[in-house]
Amino acid sequence: MTARIFIDGEAGTTGLGIRDRLANKAGIELRSLNGADRKSVAAKTALLREVDLVILCLPDDAAKETAALAGSIENGPRVLDASTAHRTAPGWIYGFPEMGPHQADAIKAARFVSNPGCYATGAIALLHPLTGAGLLASDAPVAINAISGYSGGGKAMIAEHEAGEAPAFKLYALGLGHKHVPEIMAYGGLTRRPIFVPSVGDFAQGMLVSIPLFLDDLVGKPTLADLRQLLVAHYGTGGYVRVAASEEAEIEPESLNGGNSLELHVFGSDETRQAVLVAKLDNLGKGASGAAVQNLELMLGL
> For position 38, which CATH number holds?
3.40.50.720
pLDDT tops 90 at residue 38: no
pLDDT score recorded for residue 230: 98
pLDDT tier for residue 154 given thresholds of 50, 70 and 90: confident
Mean pLDDT of 72-93: 97
The Cα-based distances of 82 to 110, 140, 238 in angstroms read 15, 30, 26
Mean pLDDT of 279-285: 98
Q: Are 8 and 51 in contact (CB under 8 A)?
A: no
Catalytic pick from 118, 213, 215, 241? 118
pLDDT tens digits for 107-121? Answer: 999 999 999 999 999
Active site residue 57: no
Closest by CA to 211, choosing from 116, 130, 105, 110, is 130
pLDDT tier for residue 20 given thresholds of 50, 70 and 90: very high
pLDDT score recorded for residue 24: 84
Torsion of CA 72, 75, 80, 84, to 10 degrees: 20
Residue 121, C-beta contacts closer than 8 angstroms, at least 6 positions apart = 96, 262, 279, 281, 286, 287, 291
Q: What CA–CA distance (Å, rounded) separates 298 from 32?
A: 22
Residue 181, C-beta contacts closer than 8 angstroms, at least 6 positions apart = 193, 194, 196
Q: Are residues 69 and 130 in the same domain?
A: no
Q: Are residues 267 and 292 in the same domain?
A: no
Q: Are residues 122 and 264 in the same domain?
A: yes
Q: Are 269 and 211 in contact (CB under 8 A)?
A: no
SS3 of residue 60 by DSSP: helix
Residue 128, C-beta contacts closer than 8 angstroms, at least 6 positions apart = 99, 100, 187, 188, 189, 234
CA 148, distance to chain mean position in Å, is 13
What domain count does the chain have?
2
Q: Are residues 219 and 92 in the same domain?
A: no
Rg over CA atoms, the chain:
20
Q: Are residues 125 and 250 in the same domain?
A: yes
Which amino acid is present at 110? A
pLDDT tops 90 at residue 11: no
pLDDT tops 90 at residue 37: no
Question: How much is the pTM?
Answer: 0.95
Strands 112-114 and 78-81, by their bridges, are parallel
Of residues 56 and 27, more confidently modeled:
56
Range of 34's domain? 3-116+288-300
The CATH number linked to 199 is 3.30.360.10
> Residue 32: what are its φ and ψ, rounded to 5°?
-140, 160
pLDDT score recorded for residue 108: 98
Mean pLDDT of the chain: 96
Q: Are residues 195 and 136 in the same domain?
A: yes
pLDDT tops 90 at residue 46: yes
Q: Are residues 111 and 123 in the same domain?
A: no
pLDDT tops 90 at residue 5: yes
Torsion of CA 229, 231, 233, 234, to 10 degrees: 160
pLDDT score recorded for residue 179: 96
Q: Are residues 99 and 144 in the same domain?
A: no
Q: Are residues 95 and 241 in the same domain?
A: no
Q: What CA–CA distance (Å, rounded) separates 162 from 158?
A: 6
Q: What CA–CA distance (Å, rounded) separates 169 from 24?
A: 36
Q: Are residues 277 and 294 in the same domain?
A: no
Longest dimension (CA), the chain: 65
Task: Return the sign of the alpha-carbon dihedral for residues 188, 280, 150, 63.
Answer: negative
Q: Are residues 157 and 264 in the same domain?
A: yes
pLDDT score recorded for residue 214: 98
Q: Are residues 51 and 123 in the same domain?
A: no
